[in-house]
Amino acid sequence: MEGFEKRLRAYGRGIVPEPDESKIKDTVVSARNAFWEKKQNMSYWDFLYEQTRYIRKRWWGLQLFVLFLTGVFVHEVQDVQLVSRMFGITASLFVILVIPELWKNRSSNAMEVEGAAYFSIRQIYSARLLVFAAVDGVLLTFFTAGLSMTGKVIIGELIIQFFLPMTVTCCICFRSLCSRFAESEYAACFLSLLWTAVWIRIVLSDIYPSISGPVWAGCCGLTVLYLTYTVRRILREKVWFSSGGRRVWS
């Protein structure tokens, strides 16, 4: 048996492959026709569904688990300051769990590969952001409704203590995503945790009770506007992305 394998190896080394150019051209034409046939039959919803399949569902499970623990914590604890601190932590953690999926292209150095595909990086990111917005919107709707029905937290306090730090964390993450300086997802996580520490310090300080409702409403409005700007910049402008130590325009 060993002698037979040696003869096969020797036979393989002695053969010089002579590719047939006509066969290569036929293969290219067949692949191109198959590609366009698949593309013409794919609607936007099919493309959105395909992008949903690429997202690892465990992050949504972890987000749901974080919201569940937050609800249990709020229901069991009576200390208002402790609840406020918990809201600030879980709001940032809820957004941080999205970072591995949004940074997956950059961390795996797949930006150039996706940039050469039929669908642009801008279309890919818009689809994934839309999917995350839809799923997270459903999770947060049930979370808000559940806390409101228990009567432990009113909507106004929930907007300030949870949605405001969550929106600011989103701004930090998306701004880091399109930044030429914060290339790593770890930098985005660090900045988000730093913001969490600042927010907890604000909540526990003497300044927090003296801030009026209109000021909080203005802060929420400004964060939403800046979040809209960062998402728009990712999707519509030429943004720097990192790929293998080089820069690639989207």
Question: 89 is written with which tokens?
Answer: 């932590």
Residue 147's contacts (CB-CB under 8 Å, 6 or more residues apart) are 71, 74, 153, 158
Which pLDDT belongs to residue 109? Answer: 63
Q: Which two tokens stand for residue 76?
A: 């069991």
Q: What angle do CA 51, 191, 233 make, to 5 degrees?
A: 50
CB 242 within 8 A of CB 183: yes
Share of the chain above pLDDT 90, in %: 5
**Which tens digits make up the pLDDT trace of 37-64?**
665 566 777 778 888 888 888 889 999 9
Neighbours of 32 (CB within 10 A): 10
Q: Helices (DSSP H) in the chain: which residue ranges?
A: 2-14, 21-40, 44-54, 58-76, 80-96, 99-102, 104-107, 111-115, 121-150, 155-158, 164-177, 185-204, 213-236
- The pLDDT of 114-133, averaged and rounded, is 76
Left, alpha or beta for 244 (phi > 0: left; psi -120 to 50: alpha)? left
Q: What gap in Å lies between CA 105 and CA 125, rounded to an integer?
A: 10
Q: What mean pLDDT comes out for the span 15-35?
A: 73
Is 80 exceeded by the pLDDT of residue 99?
A: yes
Percent of all residues in the chain with a pLDDT value above 70, rounded to a whole number: 74
Please, which residues bridge with residue 59 across strands?
Answer: none
pLDDT recorded at residue 243 = 42
**In angstroms, rounded to a whole number, what is the distance separating the alpha carbons of residues 147 and 53?**
31
Q: Would the pTM count as exceeding 0.85? A: no
9 CB-near residues (< 8 Å, 6+ apart): none
As a whole number of angstroms, the distance between CA 142 and CA 165 comes to 19
Q: How far apart are CA 19 and CA 7, in angstroms?
A: 24
pLDDT in tens, 205-249: 777 777 777 888 888 889 989 988 888 877 765 444 444 444 444
Higher per-residue pLDDT: 3 or 207: 207
